[in-house]
A and B are shown apart, each in its own frame.
Chain A
Amino acid sequence: MTDTLIGAPPAPPSGKPTPTPGKPAPRARRRRFRELHVHLLLLAALVVAALLPELVTRHDPFELDGLPFVPPNGEFWFGTDEIGRDLYSRVMHGLQISFFSAALAVLVGVVLGSVVGVLSGLRPGGVLDRVLGILTEAVMAVPAVLLALAAITAYGRGAYIAAIAIGIGEATGFARLVRGLVIQSQTLVFVEAARTCGAGPLRVLVRHVVPSVYHPVLSYTAMQFGLAMLAIGSLSYLGFGEAPPSPEWGVLIAGGQKYLVHAWWVAIIPGLALTAVVVLLNRIAFLMQENRR
């Protein structure tokens, strides 16, 4: 009987609003919570694989262990590439590069963005806010890929250099988000109450503002993580990130696409891997946001 109406808005037994309005029906909420946990477990498994790819592979990603273009089988799970390297092993080692360069990009984005966002949000309309706002807009106006290309031209090729540049681009989004949240939090009565209790700005920030607003940031981080992986993959694909023989996924896809007709797996499997990871991260972002409600 209670199975119907999942996701229906709740109601207080009276006309007065409940302290937590807009919560989805409990059953749906619990299901989403479980789903989030499963997704986070998957993510944790990915992190382990990225940290220690040797644990989950038998072949060396650079050794010519088989014949070229062996289709996926029991020995070579993802087949072999054009010169006989184990594709599964290459994908797993590539995960390390993709994953950690994207993590670096997001880290740069979160840290830089949060600092800028908090600084401008504390005094909206102030001099600092205006200067940082103009800077943010300027960076936003430059396409992230162009920024990354410039950085690579200046500092040399490599996924991690591209990642830092992409992180700077992503920081603008974080800065906007955090600024908005900080401004919004200033109107919370308990934040003002803390201030009238004599709490200093840092104490108010750490104890009251951050815990009330970090959730959207976390969710946005998961989403940006996926986007960063895509951006870094794209750069490598275009030949501006990692270079062969690196097993970075963009490189794998670029290398494999020449043989797409008679050995589809060489390009398609790394592509699917990238898609799967990005979908996983986006799903986590979505679930976090939903659970927050």
Chain B
Amino acid sequence: MTDTATTTPDRTDARTAPAAADPADVLVRVRDLTVTYRRDDAVDTALDGVGFDVRRGKVTAVIGESGSGKSTLAHAVVRLLPGNGAIAAGAIELDDEDLLARTDREFRPLRGRHIGFVPQDPVSSLNPTKTIGAQVREAFSLAGSALTAEQVEERILGDLRDIGFAAPETLLARYPHELSGGMRQRILVAIAFSQRPRLVIADEPTSALDVLVGQEVLRSLHDVRTKHGTTVVLITHDLALASRNADDVLVLEAGRLVEAGPVAEVFAAPRHPYTRALLASSARLREGRVLSIAEAYERRGPDVRRAGSPSAEAPAVVTLDGVSKSFGGGKSHVRAVDGISLAVAPGSTFALVGESGSGKTTTSRLVLGLESADAGSVHVLGEDLGTLDRKGLRALRRRVQVVYQSPFESLNPRLDLRSIIAEPLDSFRVGSRAERRARVAELLDRVRLPASYATRRPQELSGGQRQRVAIARALAIRPELLVLDEPVSALDATIQAQVLDLLQEIQQELGLTYFLVTHDLAVVADVATQVAVMRRGRLVESGPTADVVLRPQDDYTRALLAV
């Protein structure tokens, strides 16, 4: 595995267009880079003989799914690999200087001054005990900046204005927790650019943020980059983002560079099967260009998958009538859900869309009976949750099941899949032991997992497989309503499509009603029959998917659709 020589021929078919560029235009040159991680006696090869050029003044996107090694690549360049990671072979050059020849000590001055880094998570990347001003100034003192204190201050204020803060003076005295995630991430961008580095590496800079906020951050990143002519390496799993923001793209698959070239060319005519598969998984990338959500929706036309039309005459499965829910008292009082009403027709997929903090998750918890409403009424499958006692609620749980966002957290790591899937059956004492076993086998088959998996534990499975297990568990007692809480947002794009397809198939087969909670309108357009858009606890718009996606009435919906 670690023998790079044998793997080299595989890469000859990879496109190396940027490499063909004028050598003077190349800022970063990486050759045959192999990075390994030690674990349990074995050595994992995270990057296997990767070679590429980063063009000066351009944005190079590194795309790939989780585990493809794209973050490892970023960390190898700035030499911030974790303790058990090591560069086993290869060369990294910055402006023709061999970076690997530097000792760790000699490397340190490069960080910040010549190579800036924008981390993924703005929440944990700023020190909560120091003011913003102190942390931005620290970037100057750490880099040994020759500027005087006044010049530094002037520069900071100018930078912050460039990045979109109208009144940076007041900002400097504030602490990170007083700022939103988007503001924090923009501060981190400002810090990364503060020393005017030659190269800035941004590792998934927006994936911890809401879509609209993430867009703003990217816009500011683009502005400062253009202003200073900085070269940027953008690590992302989001193809649409890469397509819009990058000049060149590197496609990584399981530690190998499978394709590289100008983004427009690669996306328009992918050569490697993996790139093709990756592009195909994104319904919004066609012929190398990003479709709007509405375009993508229209292209699919009257979708056969949404043909399982709901019977509008039948009584609604879920009815919310003027429901409100608040948390906390006094100063920390939050109205999570503020007087919303909605109805979900049987056999339909109702999608509740909103960003974080919109109250969509609280609404789903109200439907599940995990929270009780302060005002208004919640009816689920004809039962009034407000008047239901514990016994009634338990009886209702036989008919309503849930699939959680993260299959990494929703499955007990100590149990095998059989016990996990049989949990509802065991809880309600459905059938004999043998019947439960048979049902588990049937369910595994239904979600297309081999029967032999029954004795495995969740840790042995991939994210997509785990989510299938969660779906199998939810189906075990044949519920009528399934609450899907961001069912695919923790999964890779190619896996997302598979899981969504599976959910659709199951719905058609079993006539289930789905209550889908998501932040991603693209997912909604794929599967929902009805859409409600939620913002700050209120419904801003709702209606059939076609109406909402193609003819949005509300500005906020329009903004979400424009992403």
Q: Counting CB contacts under 8 A, is A74 at the interface?
A: no
Residue in A14, A25, A192, A193 whose CB lies within 8 Å of B70 = A14
A16 near B66 with CB under 8 A, answer yes
Stretch in contact with the other chain, from B19-27, B36-44, B95-103, B539-547 = B36-44
Q: From residue 416 to 449 of chain B, which have CB atoms closer than 8 A to chain A?
A: 423-424, 426-428
Residue in A11, A14, A196, A200 whose CB lies within 8 Å of B68 = A14
List the A residue with the shortest CB-CB distance to B420.
A190
User: In the docked arrangement, what's the CA distance between A194 and B470, Å?
Assistant: 11
Q: Counting CB contacts under 8 A, is A8 at the interface?
A: yes
B411 surroundings in chain A (CB, below 8 A): 190, 193
Q: Closest CB of chain B to A145's CB: distance in Å?
A: 40
SS of A interface (majority)? loop
A192 near B427 with CB under 8 A, answer no
B473 near A197 with CB under 8 A, answer yes
Q: Closest CB of chain B to A234's CB: distance in Å?
A: 40
- Assuming the contacts A11-B85, A14-B46, A212-B414, asked whether A198 and B394 have C-beta atoms less than 8 A apart, the reply is yes
Q: Counting CB contacts under 8 A, is B402 at the interface?
A: yes
Q: Closest CB of chain A to B6's CB: distance in Å?
A: 20
User: In the docked arrangement, what's the CA distance between A12 and B68, Å?
Assistant: 11
Residue in B37, B72, B397, B415 whose CB lies within 8 Å of A196 = B397
User: In the docked arrangement, what's the CA distance between A131 and B279, Å?
Assistant: 60
User: In the docked arrangement, what's the CA distance between A212 and B412, Å?
Assistant: 9
User: In the docked arrangement, what's the CA distance between A195 and B38, Å?
Assistant: 39
B120 surroundings in chain A (CB, below 8 A): 15
Q: Counting CB contacts under 8 A, is A208 at the interface?
A: yes
Q: Closest CB of chain A to B486's CB: distance in Å?
A: 12
B74 surroundings in chain A (CB, below 8 A): 15
List the B residue with the shortest CB-CB distance to A204.
B427
List the A residue with the shortest CB-CB distance to B68.
A14
Q: Counting CB contacts under 8 A, is B8 at the interface?
A: no
A9 surroundings in chain B (CB, below 8 A): 82-84
Q: Closest CB of chain A to B414's CB: distance in Å?
A: 5
A193 surroundings in chain B (CB, below 8 A): 402, 404, 410-411, 470, 473
Residue in A11, A190, A198 whose CB lies within 8 Å of B412 = A190
Residue in A8, A189, A197, A199 whose CB lies within 8 Å of B83 = A8
A10 surroundings in chain B (CB, below 8 A): 37, 39, 82-84
- Assuming the contacts A5-B84, A10-B82, asked whether A196 and B71 have C-beta atoms less than 8 A apart, the reply is no
Q: Closest CB of chain A to B492's CB: distance in Å?
A: 10
User: In the docked arrangement, what's the CA distance between A199 and B83, Å?
Assistant: 42
Q: Counting CB contacts under 8 A, is B368 at the interface?
A: yes
Q: Counting CB contacts under 8 A, is B235 at the interface?
A: yes
A14 near B427 with CB under 8 A, answer no
Q: Counting CB contacts under 8 A, is B386 at the interface?
A: no
B81 surroundings in chain A (CB, below 8 A): 11
User: In the docked arrangement, what's the CA distance between A196 and B428, Å?
Assistant: 12
B44 near A189 with CB under 8 A, answer no
Q: Closest CB of chain A to B250's CB: distance in Å?
A: 15
Q: Counting CB contacts under 8 A, is B341 at the interface?
A: no
List the A residue with the shortest CB-CB distance to B45.
A13
Q: Closest CB of chain B to A199's CB: distance in Å?
A: 4
Residue in A12, A13, A189, A203 whose CB lies within 8 Å of B406 = A189
19 A-B contacts (beta carbon < 8 Å): A2-B38, A10-B39, A11-B84, A12-B67, A13-B69, A14-B67, A15-B70, A15-B72, A15-B74, A19-B459, A25-B83, A26-B40, A189-B404, A190-B411, A195-B370, A196-B401, A197-B401, A198-B397, A212-B414
Closest CB pairs A-B (n = 3): A15-B71, A8-B83, A11-B82
Q: Known pairs A14-B67, A197-B401. 13 more at Cβ < 8 A?
A: A11-B82, A13-B69, A13-B72, A15-B74, A16-B67, A19-B413, A190-B413, A192-B370, A194-B423, A198-B398, A199-B426, A208-B412, A212-B412
The residues of A with any CB-CB pair to B shorter than 8 Å are: 2, 5, 8-16, 19-20, 25-26, 188-190, 192-200, 203, 207-208, 211-212
